[in-house]
Amino acid sequence: MQAMLEPLLRGLTDPVILFGHFTYFLLIVSMVMRRMVALRLLAVGSGLAKIVYRAFFVFDPVSVLWETVFVAVNVVQLVLIWYYERHHRFDEDHRHFAENMPENVDRSAIKRMLDLSDLERYEPGAILTAEGAKVERLVYLADGIVKIERGDRVVAICGPGDYIGELSFLSGNPASATATVVKPTRALIFDQARLSAAMASDTQLQRTLESALNRNLAGKLTRANQQPRPSI
């Protein structure tokens, strides 16, 4: 055992061997990065360090060749990510919508969905949906406050990131409640007929919207369950 430990301990004090360990450390760290850009950058750093290590300290031309290929592939991926991000940027009015989408949603699908929207502003008292009336628009709240009333009772309060009219959009039924603007509100408006037609020919767009609505409905349900219940 001691004969095995001595080379290991000696290696921990050898700068060349420590540098070799460092190259693998960078690679392992890159694997735990959640952001793809950070992962690629660390992978490039690890590859470059390995090239130096294998070319000047522990000569291994095969490793140098494949580490060079590894670095080149990751550099190309970084360029593609930069190009993709550059051509799928969101302006200030749309950024809130994009940031509230589930992480696995493709940005190009978000962009196509936003192309179907119109930005509108509402003052307090504006009615977005009326209980029992047909709902023709799906509303996404970028900011502001909207109260949801059923009869004479307030059943929910909606704010930035919430959708109004999503249940009617999914079911085709009239509005189950009245949505009234309480504070100045900025919203993205989707015409339901136009949106449904786009979804019928674009399965990625359909999955994007369904994922967003399911996430929002789950959030509303969680908030409703957390509200204090009146004592009996």
Phi, psi of 170 (to 5 degrees): -75, -35
Of 62, 86, 110, the one marking the end of a domain is: 86
Domain that holds residue 42: 2-86
Give the pLDDT of residue 12: 62
* Residue 80, domain member (yes or no): yes
Of 86, 110, 129, the one marking the end of a domain is: 86
Residue 166 CB: number of other CB atoms within 10 A? 20
Query: Are residues 129 and 215 part of one domain?
Result: yes
Model confidence, pTM: 0.61
Strands 153-158 and 117-122: unpaired
Give the pLDDT of residue 2: 54
Give the pLDDT of residue 141: 95
Give the pLDDT of residue 189: 96
C-alpha separations of 201 from 111, 145, 188 in Å: 16, 34, 22
Nearest-CA neighbor of 160 among 174, 171, 145? Answer: 145
Give the pLDDT of residue 230: 41
pLDDT along the chain (232 residues), means of 10: 57 71 80 80 89 87 91 90 69 80 79 91 96 94 94 91 91 93 95 92 89 85 64 37
Measure CA of the first residue to CA of the last residue in the chain; give whole Å: 72
Give the pLDDT of residue 184: 95
C-alpha separations of 118 from 16, 29, 63, 128, 140 in Å: 61, 43, 55, 14, 10
Give the residue ranges of DSSP H helices in the chain. Answer: 2-11, 15-31, 36-52, 61-86, 92-99, 107-114, 166-171, 192-200, 203-226
Query: Are residues 164 and 207 part of one domain?
Result: yes
Rounded CA separation 133/140 (Å): 19
Give the pLDDT of residue 88: 62
**How many structural domains does the chain have?**
2
* Residue 62, domain member (yes or no): yes
Rounded CA separation 19/29 (Å): 15
